[in-house]
Amino acid sequence: MQLYSPENDSILLQKWWIDLSLDQPEFENLFTKPLRNLSALGAWIQAPTTRFFYESDGRGFWLCAWIEPLLTHGAQVGAWTRKDKRGTRQQVHAMDEFYEMVLEKSSVLIGLTRQYPKLHELHLKLGYTYVDEFPGIFDGHPVYMYKMTRESRDARAAVQSEIREKRRVRKNYHEHERRQVIEQQQFEQPIRGDAGEIRGPEPEGRGARYAAIVGAGRRSIKDWWYHKPDSNHQPTG
């Protein structure tokens, strides 16, 4: 990732600000009201305590990440990725590079977001752990805090595996629930007779009952066929 230079990158910053201004929900989730002004945003990025990194292409910034010192050995970090680059290998590689760089000098990283629970799993997969909610401090909205240490970062593979397993369990559960609803609806659906009257579902027939018995292994098909009350067949041989 490249370190922002006011002399060389001011046009990229202006383009980024214009693009964000055209997508207000994106802008409002990223910065508080004072930083939605181009001059204020530029002053913050160029402040001696801020380190602003980026990746760019022909459309301007597609990834931005920044660091601000926190006490002695901590840092507050933030990041933004353009919508068409989110979830790509380029993004993952660039963010891995960024976090490894910051963790070389800081023992704890603090990340803040308004977008909970939308970005909760993403933070966990990056190596953060959830800390707490702080009501009302982001233009009247709550902010959710996460922290990252070297230990939590190294444990992210196990966390990602756990998230995948939870998703699989939820998917199977919802699929089972969906099938039960469909089966119940099919059973309860009224049947229209020849005269147009609506009848309830047909009662279970003898064949269906004996099929269930056979399926449960309590009686063979041959035994059922030759000994059912209305059968005219008799065993031979």
Give the length of the chain: 237
Of residues 234 and 48, more confidence is placed in: 48
Of residues 5 and 221, more confidence is placed in: 5
Extended strands (E) in the chain: 2-3, 51-57, 60-70, 74-81, 108-113, 129-138, 141-148, 191-192, 198-199
Per-residue pLDDT tens over the stretch 197-234: 655 555 556 666 666 666 666 556 566 566 655 545 44
Domains identified in the chain and CATH numbers: 2-165 (3.40.630.30)
Above 90 in pLDDT, residue 109? yes
The whole-number pLDDT of residue 46 equals 95
Q: List all residues 6 or more positions away from 94 whose beta carbon is below 8 Å from its beta carbon.
A: 1, 55, 63, 65
> What single DSSP character describes residue 152?
H
Q: DSSP states of 84-100 as a string?
A: GGTTSHHHHHHHHHHHH
Per-residue pLDDT tens over the stretch 122-179: 999 999 999 999 999 999 999 999 999 999 999 999 998 998 898 888 888 888 788 8
The whole-number pLDDT of residue 179 equals 81
* Chain mean pLDDT for the chain: 86
- Looking at the DSSP assignment, which residues form a beta bridge with residue 55? 63
Does the model's pTM come out above 0.85? no
Q: What is the arithmetic mean of pLDDT over 48-68? A: 96
- At 112, list the tokens: 């803040």
